[in-house]
Structure 1
C-alpha cells in the first residue's frame, strides 16, 4: 500500500484510534477550556465590576436560559444541516463575540446589557455546537467504541471546564480581566479552523427537512417519550440532576458551617469531584466490559448516593474531600454509559434533537434543584437537604434498575 493510500485509510478509520475522532477530540478539548475560562471569568467580572448580587444572578440566569429556550430548536436545525459547517459557524460566532467582549472589557464599557447579551448568545451558540459535536462523535467513533469515546470526551470536558479553564481564568484575571476573554476567543477561533480537518466521511445522515422546525421538535420529543430506553435515561437524568443540583447549592454553606472548612479550601471539594470524574472517564469502559453496562450504571447511582451520605454523616474535612471524589466518580461513570446507550438508541438523522432534549433535562432541572434547596435548608438544615437527596438518589437507583437493564439489552440489539 502506498503512503498516500495509507494516509487515506488512516483518515477514514472509525474508533477512538482513528484520525477523525482524534481531531474531533482536539476541538472538544479546546472549546472545553474556553468554556471553563468563560464560566469562571464572566460571573467574576460581573461581581467585581458591579458589586451587585442581582447582577451576578442575572448573568448566571442568562447563561442557563438558552438550554431551556434555544436547545430544542437548535437540535432540529443541527439535524437539517451538515454538522461540520454548523460547528465552524458556531465556533466562529463565539470567537467573534468574545473578541467584542474583550474590547468592551478592556475599554471599561462592559455594562450589564453587554454582559447579559454575551452570556445569553455564547450559551445559545453552545447549544448548536454541543448537538453537532455529539452527532459527529457517534459517526467518528463507531458503535463499538462509544463507551471509550464518551469516556475520552467526559475526561476532556472535566479537565477543561472544571480544572484547566478555572485555573487559567484565575491567573489571567489577576493580571488583566480582558485576557481571560482573549484566551477564550483564541480557543474558539482555533476550533473553527480545526474542525474542517475532521474527515467529511464521518458526516452523519441529515433529516429530510420536510417538516417545519416545530414539527421536527415534536417528532424528536415524541421519539424520546415513546422509546422505553430513552425514557429511562432521560427520566433518571432529570431526577438525579435535580437532587445533585440541590446538594451542590447547599454544599458550600454546609462545608463552612458544619465542617468548619476555611473559605479558601472550599473549592478543593469541586476539584476532588473533578478528579473522581476524570478517573471514571478512563475506567468506565473497562468496568462496562467486565461487569455489564446496566450493572455499572445502577452501581454508579448507588456510589453517588453513598458519596452524598458520607458527606453528611462523617463530618471531617478529609471525609468531605473523599465524598466529593466518590460523587464525581459516580456521576462520571453514569454520564459515560448513559451517553453511549442514548446514542445507540437514536437514529443518526435525529441525533441533534435527541441530544438537545437530553440536555434540557440534564441541565434544565438544575436551577429547580437549587431553588428548592435554599428554602428546605432554611426550614430544616443544610444537612437535611444532603441526607434527603442521598436517600432519594438511592430510591431512584432501585426504581430505575429494571428499566436500565432493559435499556442496556435494547442498546446491544
Structure 2
C-alpha cells in the first residue's frame, strides 16, 4: 500500500485507482441488490401467490447462510485471496438470480426454487461481505478507512434511493421475475471491476498446524472476549432480529392489504432511503462532534420511535409519515454502521480480520432468519399490524447493550496498535456475553 499515501495528498480516495474500481463495482452491485430486495418478495406474493408464512420463510432463507456458514466463512476467507473470493461469489449470484426469469419463461417457477435461490445467494453474500470488509484495509491506509467506508456506504445509500424506484418501475413494465435480470447483470458488472483491481496484497502465511475449528474458536473468542465488540454484537443482533420480523411482513401489508402498486412501493422505499445517503454524508462529522462511542449509541436511540408508524399506516397521508420514519431509521442506521464497522476494522489485528468480520456477521446477521420466521409466524397467527406493533415495542432492547457499556462515554475508541484489543480479549471472560 505504499502508493496509497500519494493519492491521499492529492485529494483522498477520490484519486485512489484501485479503491475507485472496488467502489464502482460495489455501487452497481448494490443497485441491483436493491432491485432484488423489492422484486424477490413481490415475485413470491404476486407471481407464486405465496402465503404470509411462506414470504417469511423466503426472507429467512435469504439470511440463513449467516447461521449455516457464518463462522467457518471467516476462517476460510482468511486463507484465501480476498479479491478472488469477491469475483467468484459475484459469478455465483449471477447464475442463481438469473435462474428465476429463466424458470418463469418456461412456466416452471415455484416457491421452492425461490427458497433455493435465496439460500445460494445468501451463502455467496456471506463470503463476499466477509472478504469485502477485510479487503478494504488492504487497499487503503489506516487513516483512510473511515473515508472509504463512508464513500462505500454513500454509494449503497444512493442505490437504496434509486434501486427500489427503478425496481418498481421494472416490475410494472416487464414483471417481477424479469426485473431480476438487472440484478444478475449488476453482479457480473461488479465482478469485472473487482477483477481489474491491480493491488495484490501478499498472501497471508499459513500456520503449519492450522485447524478450522481452532480458527473459528479464536475469532469467536476475540469478539466475545472484547467488551466493545461484544456490546456492538448484542445491539446489532437484537436490532436485526426485530427489523427482520418487521420486513418479513411489511411487503404483505403494502402489496396485499393496502393493494399499493409495485411502482409506489418502490418509490416509498426510495424516498426513505434518502435518509441513508444523508447519514453517509454526515457520519464522519457526527462521530467527530459527538465522539465515536456516543455516536454509536445515540444513532440507535434515534431509531426507537420510528417503529410505531408502520402498525397504523393506511392508504392515505400516513404513507408520508411512514416514509419519514423510514428516512430517519435509515439515516441513523447508516451513521451507526459506518462508525462501528470502521472501529471494528481498526481494533482488529490484520490476521484476524476475516474471522472477526465472519464472527460478527454470524452473531448479528444470524438473528435475521430467526426474526423473519418469527415475523411470518406472528403475521399468520395475530395479523400483520399486530406483528409490527410487537416489533416496535421491542425496539428499545438494542439500545441497552451499547448504552450500558464503555461506548457511552468513549470519545476515542482503541486501535489494535495500542495493544488494547488483544489484552482485553485475554482478560475478558468469553463465557459471558454480558457487558
CA-atom RMSD, angstroms? Answer: 3.7
Alpha-carbon contact 1:79-1:353 (below 8 Å) kept: yes
**Which stretches in structure 2 are left out of the alignment for 5+ residues?**
419-435
Alignment match, 1:30: 28
Q: Which residue of 2 aligns with 1:385?
A: 390
- Aligned mates of 1:183, 1:68 — CA distance in 2: 28
Distance in 1 between residues matched to 2:9 and 2:132, nearest whole Å? 18
Partner of 2:82: 83
User: What's the TM-score, normalizing by structure 2?
Assistant: 0.79
Name the counterpart of 1:366: 368
Aligned equivalents of 1:50 and 1:255: distance in 2?
17
CA distance in 2: counterparts of 1:180 and 1:364, whole angstroms = 28
In the other structure, the counterpart of 2:49 is 51
**Which of 23, 40, 53 is 2:38 aligned to?**
40
8 Å CA contact retained: 2:145, 2:342: yes
Q: Does 1:289 align with 2:291?
A: no
Task: Pick closer, same or farther for the CA change 1:69–1:313 going to 2, 3 Å.
Answer: closer
Structure-2 residue corresponding to 1:21: 19
Tell me, yes or no, if the aligned pair for 1:87 and 1:195 is still in contact at 8 Å: yes
| CA spacing shift, 1:308–1:354, aligned 2, 3 Å | same
Corresponding pairs, count: 403
- Shift of the 138–45 alpha-carbon distance from structure 1 to 2, 3 Å rule, reads same
Q: State the partner residue of 1:147.
A: 146
Q: CA deviation at 1:359?
A: 1.8
Distance in structure 2 (CA, Å) of the matches to 1:103 and 1:252: 24
User: 1:269·1:324 contact (CA, 8 Å) conserved in 2?
Assistant: no
Q: How far did residue 261 of structure 1 move?
A: 7.9
Separation in 2, partners of 1:251, 1:406: 37
TM-score norm. by structure 1 comes to 0.82
Name the SS for the 2:89 alignment partner. helix
- Which residue is 2:326 aligned to? 324
Which segment drifts farther, 129-138 or 163-172?
A: 163-172
Partner residue in 2 for 1:410: 414
User: Which string of whole-angstrom CA distances, capped at 9 and with x for unpartnered residues, describes residues 333-378 of structure 1?
Assistant: 1111010011111122222221122122332223444555675994
Is the 2:170–2:179 Cα contact (8 Å) retained in structure 1?
A: yes
Aligned partner of residue 200 in structure 1, secondary structure? coil
Compute the displacement of 1:404 (Å): 5.0
Q: Measured at CA, do residues 86 and 245 of structure 1 come closer, stay the same or move farther in structure 2, by a change above 3 Å? A: closer
CA contact (8 A) 1:205 1:348 kept: no
User: What does residue 183 of structure 2 align with?
Assistant: 184
2:106 counterpart residue number = 107
- Corresponding position of 1:3: none
Q: Does 1:241 align with 2:245?
A: no
Map of 1:251-270 to 2, 5 A cutoff? 263=260, 270=269
**How many Å apart are 1:283 and its aligned residue?**
0.7
- Aligned partner of 2:301 in structure 1 is 302
Aligned twin of 1:357:
359
**Partner residue of 2:342?**
340
Deviates more, 1:322-331 or 1:367-376: 367-376
Q: CA deviation at 1:322?
A: 2.7
- Check the 8 A contact 1:277/1:330 in 2, yes or no: yes
String of CA shifts for 1:44-73, please: whole Å, max 9, x gaps: 223333223255444333222112102222
